[in-house]
Amino acid sequence: MGTITIVGLGPADATLLAPITTDALVAHSRRFLRTSVHPAASEIVDAVTFDHVYDSAPDFATVYATIAERLIDEAAAGDLVYAVPGSPLVLERTVELLRQAEAEDRVVLRILPAMSFLDVAWSQLRVDPVESNVRLIDGHVFAQAAAGQTGPLLVAHCHSAQVLSDIKLSLDDGPPVTVLQRLGLPDERVFQVAWDDLDREVEADHLTSLWIPELETPVAADFARFEELVRVLREQCPWDRKQTHASLRQHLLEETHETLEAIDARARLDDDEFDDELDEHLSEELGDLLYQIFFHARLAAERGSFTVADVARGIHEKLVVRHPHVFGDAEADDADSVVSTWEAIKREEKGRDSAMDGIPPALPALLLALKVQKRAAGVGFDWDGGPEVAYADVEEELAEVRDDPSEHEVGDLLFAAVQVARRLDHDPESALRGAAGRFQQRFRAVEDLALAGGVDLEIAEKDQLGALWTQAKQRETD
């Protein structure tokens, strides 16, 4: 296994190249450049560049992973030198991936020190980064990395208008920003721009960074304020102080049902349609539900178990792992294959022997039946034939109920009805809830018609009831 010697090209042209870098480049006959788009790249002769990977890969994550794997393969044939812009250990994703490979004994690395753009930036800004407690942020992930920060921030990798636009949109109103471009070169520029003009007034290039001395309102400030509110309520409100995970259970259930009710109210609209009243209602109910989540996390934080940040981090990591077709090499042609992959990964994570393991028995009966059927289908235990198979199953179970009207047989009939909903891609819970709602509406109409016609429902003849029901249904179509 050969050694990969990693060197940095510094922040500008060859005048800022470290002698140790030059010596390493001369000492190696096999030279590789991450990109030739750098002022000092022209100093390296007979180098293989990875510029073509940028042109062919769908995203930067793929670019960096492809470069790292290619270098590992090349190192199997002997020693080589790999040159990156700036310093190898400052926001250099390919080096990070190579270091992970080194930890897995897949490659041997030798990383040499180099000057980064940070050194020139501190000089231009007249800032001591340690005394000022500066946070270095990657512009590609500004909204996540800067969450909760108030500054000062130095934002790197601001190489395109799209990155600048994403940074701008992460805040409703940000402070004036100092733009740093091509530091250390004859055409360097340092100038201020208004926050709203970031993606309009700045011609971004690969040597563009931003200096934000202070953010009055940090990114994700609303979540930080909300977490603080929950903490204060827990400390100072008598009702909040007495709550436990168990006592909050009923409130979590109530808020969940109220959120579902708000969602059902929007069911007549497409997801991309606006309705101010319905959307405001849904937003309010989601807020009530969010409060329950933050409250449970606060209880856990008080006992030193986990925080709401751990909750967010955990679900983030879980979703990445369970979507290998998005964040890995797996393929998923449709939603069913996504579900099958999800369940397979989940079984492996949990160490489950059966596809039925891990289904909460306390689920509502319709949801329990649906989940059991989907789990079985997910491992191939299902019959071809579409909804016709389910129709035949319902007919068979209905015949058995006629012969034996026991709870057992009625349960089988209901289970078969859930299969009809599943094969037609309907949610049985929503379908039954909708049917119950329609019945309520029609029955109220029956009551109105009976009252208007002087009919006593308790003593009315069956034909009268049937006629009232027919009129009530006709009202819906009218």
Q: What is the CATH number of the domain that holds 43?
A: 3.40.1010.10
Judged against a pLDDT cut of 70, whether residue 156 lies above it is answered with yes
* 379 in any annotated domain: no
- Least confident window among 73-82, 246-255, 382-391, 392-401: 382-391
- Token readout for 420 is 């009809």
Same domain, 204 and 225: no
Q: Single out the residue in 169, 189, 212 at which a domain terminates.
A: 212
Number of structural domains found in the chain: 4
Same domain, 170 and 234: no
Same domain, 156 and 249: no
* 401 in any annotated domain: no
Same domain, 151 and 198: yes
Q: What is the pTM of this model?
A: 0.54
Q: Write the CB contacts of 90 (distance below 8 Å, at least 6 apart in sequence).
A: 116, 117, 118, 136
Order of strands across the sheet with 135-138? 135-138, 153-156, 208-212, 177-181, 189-193
DSSP at 148: T
What pLDDT, on a 0 to 100 scale, did the predictor assign at position 128?
93
pLDDT band at 225 (very low <50, low <70, confident <90, very high): confident
* 65 in any annotated domain: yes
What pLDDT, on a 0 to 100 scale, did the predictor assign at position 89?
92
Same domain, 451 and 466: yes
- Token readout for 115 is 């000057």
Q: Single out the residue in 321, 350, 365 at which a domain terminates.
A: 321
* 402 in any annotated domain: no
Q: If 0-12 CB within 10 Å is exposed, 13-18 middle and 19+ buried, where does residue 448 land?
A: middle
Contact 231, 295 (CB under 8 A): no
Higher pLDDT, residue 398 or 478: 398
Alpha carbons within 13 A on the beta-carbon side of 419? 24
Higher pLDDT, residue 335 or 418: 418
Torsion angles phi and psi, residue 210, rounded to 5: -125, 140
Higher pLDDT, residue 477 or 386: 386
b/e map 210-223, b = 16+ CB within 10 Å: bbbeebeebbbbeb
* 23 in any annotated domain: yes
**Residue 55 three-state SS:** helix
* Crossing angle of the two packed helices 365-378 and 335-350, in degrees rounded to 10: 90
What pLDDT, on a 0 to 100 scale, did the predictor assign at position 2?
87
* 250 in any annotated domain: yes
Same domain, 236 and 313: yes
Q: Give 437-454 pLDDT, tens digit per residue.
A: 888 888 888 888 888 888
Same domain, 103 and 12: yes
CATH number, position 123: 3.30.950.10
Mean residue pLDDT of the chain comes to 88
Same domain, 132 and 107: no
Same domain, 260 and 240: yes
Rounded to 5°, angle at Cα 423 from 417 and 427 = 70
Same domain, 44 and 98: yes
Interatomic CA distance for residues 134 and 212, integer angstroms: 10
- Least confident window among 103-107, 262-266, 457-461: 457-461
Contact 295, 246 (CB under 8 A): no
Q: Single out the residue in 114, 130, 147 at which a domain terminates.
A: 114
Same domain, 103 and 17: yes
- Token readout for 407 is 């709870």
* 423 in any annotated domain: no
Contact 262, 278 (CB under 8 A): yes
pLDDT band at 380 (very low <50, low <70, confident <90, very high): confident
What pLDDT, on a 0 to 100 scale, did the predictor assign at position 373?
84
**Residue 258 three-state SS:** helix
Largest Cα–Cα distance of the chain, in whole Å? 105
Which residue segment(s) compose the domain that 90 sits in?
Answer: 3-114
What pLDDT, on a 0 to 100 scale, did the predictor assign at position 281?
93
pLDDT band at 464 (very low <50, low <70, confident <90, very high): confident
pLDDT band at 478 (very low <50, low <70, confident <90, very high): low
* 128 in any annotated domain: yes
Interatomic CA distance for residues 83 and 216, integer angstroms: 39
Higher pLDDT, residue 392 or 225: 392
pLDDT band at 51 (very low <50, low <70, confident <90, very high): very high
Same domain, 238 and 172: no
